[in-house]
Amino acid sequence: MSDDKLHILIAGAGIAGLTLAIMLEKIPNVRYTILERAHEFKALGSSIVLSPQVLRVYDQLGILEEMRARSSAFMATVYLRKDFSVIGQGSTKPCEERFGYHMRVFSRPDLMDILLSHVPAEKVRFGKRVLSLSQNQEGVMVRCTDGTTMHGDILVGADGAYSAVRQSMFEAMKKKGTNVPEADLSSLRFEQFSILGTTSRIDHLYQLPRKGCTMYNVMPTNEHDIYVYVLDFDDGRLGWRLSGPSLTKYAKDEANFRLSDWDSESIDGLKNQLVDAPAPIVGTIGQLFEHTQSISRIMLEDKFYETWHHGRTVLIGDACHKVIPAAGQGANQSILDCICLANLIAELPSSKADDVEKVFRKYYDLRAPIAEKAVKTSKTLGKLICTHSFFGIILRTIFIKLMGIMAARSMDTLYSGRPILNYLPHLPLKGFVPDSSLPMTLGLPHSNGNGKNGEATAI
């Protein structure tokens, strides 16, 4: 870019916001500021599975070894009945030879801690909740609830499913007379919700498998409609999540729900109902509760927004496509957004509004069809996994058995496209499966960091 340093405001210090910041750190003539609504860093949640696609880029960024040291290799998924008999299973071991990397399982706090450590502290502003925005040919201005304003050339909304940036962008569009699709203005569809957490180290109390991380899934039944997900970390902890219709009544008010977190003391009634329900490894859900200090909750919704950008504002991650949690696909899709947007920003010829909008249009064209497909697939799988009807259980059983047989083909469909950051030295493609990525570029001459012209890819 020929102008002075492009200033990018990133709203949200989650996985997407921090990952994008680490990528922007490597682009000459770009600076950024992260606006995080929380007053301090507090990572909640359970586990996140990252795919070979995104691990390749973290490798390119030089932080993969640190990530490996604080994660577990994801080796298998096992589907169980409530008596722990096996319905079906699938191995993820072929990932490394096919795509060059094992899938990795992180506790969400550990992953967030790693990412935050690679962002200079002075570039993260806490207590900055976005209230409104205004933008013109010269730049964008963000007003925060603490009365401060921030100015930049681009605003990236990485602030989650209930994105304040998205709402402000829609308001700006309506004031300007720009149409916002009716579907984009509708509320997220509340399917159900999960409670989740990570236990303390318990390998001195229970015999944990030591063959790499395995994801155990206890399927709902006619009599027991709770879906139980448990996986074992290498360090002796368990990540877990519970979903199901029996939990829905505890989400009495969506507005209050999404702005609050649970702790163990606030779910006594729920704990009493579930204490004897089966859970892999430890035996019962009650045992999971007993060894978990902080229990949080998440909404299970799905949503694809048709509008991802307007003027100098663009959305990434859950702010523009909300995926029901399924083997980390929400996090992976968000990171893929970051890869695409960072590559295009690296080619941005100037900070002029027309050039910025050209980048955003290309970003949408490359990522939106893939993200929309991911949302639809996740929605279908989520309903199938959590069903407890008679015919639903039969269909799910057939699907699980077929999934084990077709595991390699399924992985090729999901992970054969392995994007790369075009402006950094390229890594050789690992794994014997050919790269199925499509070109990801504005079509301008650029250097890949080795002094050679390169071309990024999108999946």
CATH code at position 443: 3.50.50.60
Q: What is the DSSP letter of 105?
A: E
Decide if 274 is inside a domain.
no
Residue 356 pLDDT greater than 70, yes or no: yes
pLDDT in tens, 100-138: 999 999 998 899 999 999 999 999 999 999 999 999 999
Interatomic CA distance for residues 326 and 305, integer angstroms: 19
Alpha-helical runs (H) found in 347-406: 353-386, 390-405
- Assigned domain for 391 exists: yes
| CA dihedral (442, 443, 447, 452) positive or negative | positive
Confidence of residue 251 (pLDDT cuts 50, 70, 90): low
Mean pLDDT of the 359-369 span: 96
Is residue 263 included in any domain, yes or no? Answer: no
> What is the reported pTM?
0.90
pLDDT tens-digit readout, 226-239: 889 999 999 999 99
Nearest-angstrom CA–CA distance, 459 and 457: 7
Give how far Cα 328 sits from Cα of 74, 87, 164, 181, Å.
12, 22, 24, 28
**Average model confidence (pLDDT) across the chain:** 86
Residue 257 confidence (pLDDT): 46
Per-residue pLDDT tens over the stretch 194-207: 888 999 999 999 98
Q: Give me the domain span that covers residue 349.
A: 6-187+301-458
With contact defined as beta carbons under 8 Å apart, do 331 and 307 qualify? no
Residue 339 CA to residue 20 CA, distance in Å, equals 8
Residue 388 lies in a domain: yes
Burial of 50 (0-12, 13-18, 19+ CB in 10 A): buried
Sign of CA dihedral 444, 448, 449, 453: negative
What pLDDT score was predicted for residue 454?
Answer: 41
Look at residue 267 in the predicted model and tell me its pLDDT.
64
Mean pLDDT value across residues 271-280: 86
If one counts the domains in the chain, the total is 1
Q: Is 335 a member of any domain?
A: yes
pLDDT at 316: 98
CB burial of residue 182 (10 Å; 0-12, 13-18, 19+): exposed
What's the pLDDT score for residue 261?
47
d(CA 430, CA 58): 14
Q: Report the pLDDT averaged over residues 421-443.
A: 89
Comparing 354-363, 366-375, 379-388, 426-435, the range with the smallest average pLDDT is 379-388
**Which pLDDT score is estimated for 325?**
62
- Can you tell me the mean pLDDT for 270-278? 83
Q: How confident is the model at residue 437 (pLDDT cuts 50, 70, 90)?
A: confident
Give the E-state strand segments of 62-212 in sequence order: 72-80, 86-91, 104-107, 124-126, 130-135, 140-144, 149-152, 154-157, 189-198
Q: Is residue 278 part of a domain?
A: no
pLDDT score recorded for residue 456: 44
Q: Is the pLDDT of residue 191 over 80?
A: no
- Classify residue 238: in a domain, yes or no: no
Distance CA 452, CA 350 (A): 22
Question: Does residue 284 sit within a domain?
Answer: no
Q: Which amino acid is at 377?
A: T
Q: Is the pLDDT of residue 337 over 50?
A: yes
